[in-house]
Amino acid sequence: MSEEQAIVTDLPVPKYSLDAEQEKKEILRHYRSLMKALRPKLKKGDKEMVRTAFEMAADAHKTMRRKSGEPYILHPLAVAMICVEEIGLGVRSTICALLHDTVEDTDLTLEDVEREFGSEIAKIVDGLTKISNVIDTNTSQQAENFKKILLTLTDDPRVILIKLADRLHNMRTMDSMKREKQLKISSETVWVYAPLAHRMGLYNIKSELEDLAMKYMEPEAYKDIARKLAETKRERTRFINEFIRPIKEKLQAGHYDFEIYGRPKSIHSIWHKIKSKGVSFDEVYDLFAIRIILNSPPENEKSDCWKVYSMITDEYNPSPERLRDWLSNPKSNGYEALHTTVMGPQGKWVEIQIRTKRMNEIAEKGLAAHFKYKEGSDTEDRFDKWFGQIREVLAQDDTDSVNFLQDFKTSFLGEEIYVYTPKGEVKMLPMGSTALDFAFAIHSAIGSKCIGAKVHHKLVPISHKLRSGDQIEIITSNKQKPSEDWLNIVVTAKARNKIKDALREEKRKIADDGKYILQRKIEGLGAAYSPGNIDEVVSFYKLPSQLDLFYQIAIKNLDLKELKEFQVLGDRLEPPKPKVVVTEVNVDHHHKPANKKDSELIIFGESSDKIVYQLAKCCNPIPGDTVFGYVSVGKGLVIHRTSCPNAPQLLANYGHRIVKTKWAKNKEISFLTGLKIIGLDDVGVIHKITNIISGDLKINIAGLTIESGEGIFEGTIKVFVHDKEELEELVDRLKQLSGIQRVDRFDTEEVE
């Protein structure tokens, strides 16, 4: 009997199977594919270990099925396959991927895993279990527990890589889930996982995660761009072939070993460009990028890339401001390449990426490939420095975790700039960093005393935003100390934490006075000045900590006159019973429609009762938009569009406050929304626009501003519409007017 036949015989089959034999064969097919992909990495004894892990996982999950109805074991197998094929991980990671859900979801314990495979694998599985408990729950505790994940990341980056594979497979197979679950998982993906994949150098996975999230969050825009890409594929291929031909001939004449091809940009990146640049699909010039991959020996890599760049610019004119040199300054995730944008045939701009085979593997496989090429080298590279910076920030004992995730994203998951000290040492900072961030990056003592800086020998304030290539000298004064407004100047987590520490220390000094005032008051009542009694007072005044209580007393925000209402039982303080206060959500801030009947709109929640609500001013939803409800502290139910810029953060971090909502059909109510119009300035253009809105469509105008200059006009119109269909009809009619170039709905600006 072959080993695979033995596995088929021994395989625990999921219960309730319609065709047990068929499912056994399907599971085996996936297992075979995994072993085939792993074959080049297998050493003595590895095959048996992977088989043991597979059998343990299959047995542990035998009664479980996914939402789609398929056996659950197919998910760990798929995750392991992504780890091997798409991320380039090896045998140990495969074992961890197979076992990643067992400790959390089944009777298998961490001790069982450690007994069978040792402490290294058990540690990774433990890390994966912790992440599942943090990010995939419906609570808002993500930020508080995110530190644990990051500690695991810096301890063993494979935890995050396997988690990314897990998330990618979940995103690929999410069709069977409920709509609200799809939205929540997609939001988490955009908010945390895609930036993390990008930072790990996994560009393909990052793009796919963003595309899949967009498929669920912006289904109409996704389908529209996918359709247009399909329609223009033949024309694009013809253009790419025409563009590539002369470059190919030059490379062949230079005897280079190379690959050259065009690849389309991701749907999400095209959509982002359409939104951020305010252009249509036809106007997005970089729908694809040309990639040239050279097979060069390590010592010739840089010079070969620059020689190829020279060949390209001999053939086509480059755009000087679009040259990106990541050969001299690789990104901290290891990415190296030369990017340029040139003017191609038919007056079209084309992006070209030049890199070697080694660089390409790092770009495709990220961290795993990076460490493979680093083996044997003792030098600390930029990836190590990045991990070092994360460890430094995590070492801060900061209990305020509400903004932790946002700080982490800004500091560690965004694009970077490279700046120089006066001695020429390179410092890596996130984009948007200021002179004050740079001061704290050098040393916290320098940051705390910073009063200004010189950039290229010119004096600048501490709030000056830095650009790549800046050389900065920090100016300090012993009289300087951090202030509250510094928190609005810095973007790095290190600077923010150090400023908070300094402010806390200052607060503590002031709070000492408040401590003595409280002590006298409590003892004056005949009670003991004990931690328990202090906590009762903290709780009564609804303050976050004892320090805040002492501080508020010291700065005379609290005069403690309510202490007289406390009862003294022995030496213990008993707070007065709270009075019952009934609060109602005030909806007066709600957009006022033309006929003042806003209270009649019903948003159906799960109970289908009438609910008091507000419309979010960040996205101004109207009936027909896909929306969700967010229960806000102090404002009650606030309705947001799923395409709202704040949606990913709300859906990812506040799952327990999200309410499933949909519009009730009601044609009597009007909603305020806004349009931006751009066109050629012509006599009577305003009359034509208002004629369509008020005359033809009988829509009420709430406001109209037109600014014109040099033959172009830009207008903003605020109108009351009943629903999305009416707005779309208005947009279509306005676009048909001669000279009108663009008509766009307000997205993130308030229309009031």
Q: Are strands 613-615 and 636-641 parallel, antiparallel or unpaired?
A: parallel
3 state DSSP class of 323: coil
Q: What is the DSSP string of 533-602?
A: HHHHHHHHTT-S-HHHHHHHHHTTS---GGGGGSEEETTEEEPPPPPP-------TTS---TTS-GGG--
At residue 378, the pLDDT reads: 45
Rg of the chain in Å (alpha carbons): 30
How far the first Cα of the chain sits from its last, in Å, is 76
With a cut of 90, say whether residue 474 has pLDDT above it.
yes
More confident residue, 372 or 192: 192
With a cut of 90, say whether residue 114 has pLDDT above it.
no
At residue 413, the pLDDT reads: 66
More confident residue, 351 or 752: 351
Check if the beta carbon of residue 287 is closer than 8 Å to that of residue 264: yes
At residue 383, the pLDDT reads: 62
More confident residue, 80 or 281: 80
3 state DSSP class of 289: strand
| Residue found under tokens 């002031």 | 510
Could you tell me the pLDDT band of residue 598, with boundaries at 50, 70 and 90?
Answer: very low
Using one digit for the tens of pLDDT, what is the confidence trace for 401-456?
Answer: 445 566 666 666 667 788 888 888 888 888 889 999 999 988 889 999 999 999 98
Asked about 105 being catalytic, the answer comes back as yes
At residue 408, the pLDDT reads: 66
Provide the CB-side half-sphere exposure for 236 (13 A, CA).
Answer: 21
Q: Which amino acid is located at 379 in the chain? A: T
Check if the beta carbon of residue 470 is closer than 8 Å to that of residue 489: no
pTM for this entry: 0.68
Could you tell me the pLDDT band of residue 586, with boundaries at 50, 70 and 90?
Answer: very low
The whole-angstrom separation of Cα 706 and Cα 677 is: 9
Could you tell me the pLDDT band of residue 289, with boundaries at 50, 70 and 90?
Answer: confident
Could you tell me the pLDDT band of residue 579, with boundaries at 50, 70 and 90?
Answer: very low
Q: Which amino acid is located at 159 in the chain? A: V
Check if the beta carbon of residue 237 is closer than 8 Å to that of residue 290: no
**In the predicted model, what is the mean pLDDT of residues 203-214?**
91
Mind listing the domains of the chain with CATH numbers? 3-217 (1.10.3210.10), 226-374 (3.30.460.10), 501-574 (no CATH), 598-662 (no CATH), 671-745 (3.30.70.260)
What's 70's DSSP letter?
S
Using one digit for the tens of pLDDT, what is the confidence trace for 25-52?
Answer: 888 899 999 999 888 888 888 889 999 9
Beta-strand (E) ranges in 70-170?
A: none
**In the predicted model, what is the mean pLDDT of residues 227-243?**
88
With a cut of 60, say whether residue 746 has pLDDT above it.
yes
Using one digit for the tens of pLDDT, what is the confidence trace for 533-551?
Answer: 888 888 888 787 888 888 8
With a cut of 50, say whether residue 74 has pLDDT above it.
yes
Range from 334-338, 406-410, 748-752 that averages highest in pLDDT? 334-338
Residues of the chain above pLDDT 90, percent:
17
Neighbours of 546 (CB within 10 A): 17
Q: What are the CB-based long-range contacts (under 8 Å, 24+) for 325-330? A: 327/301, 327/302, 328/302, 329/418, 329/426, 330/382
Residues of the chain above pLDDT 70, percent:
81
Measured in whole angstroms, how far is the alpha carbon of residue 627 from the centre of its chain?
20
**In the predicted model, what is the mean pLDDT of residues 600-616?**
57
With a cut of 50, say whether residue 140 has pLDDT above it.
no
Asked about 114 being catalytic, the answer comes back as no
Structure token pair of residue 148: 């644990």
Backbone angles phi, psi at 614, to 5 degrees: -130, 155
With a cut of 90, say whether residue 79 has pLDDT above it.
yes
**In the predicted model, what is the mean pLDDT of residues 523-537?**
83
**In the predicted model, what is the mean pLDDT of residues 372-392?**
59
Backbone angles phi, psi at 220, to 5 degrees: -70, -50
Point out the catalytic residue in the list 46, 59, 85, 104.
104
| Residue found under tokens 């542990």 | 60
Could you tell me the pLDDT band of residue 385, with boundaries at 50, 70 and 90?
Answer: low
At residue 577, the pLDDT reads: 65
At residue 728, the pLDDT reads: 86
Point out the catalytic residue in the list 26, 105, 126, 136.
105
Whole-number average pLDDT of the chain? 79
What's 11's DSSP letter?
P
Using one digit for the tens of pLDDT, what is the confidence trace for 158-189?
Answer: 888 888 899 999 999 888 888 888 888 888 88
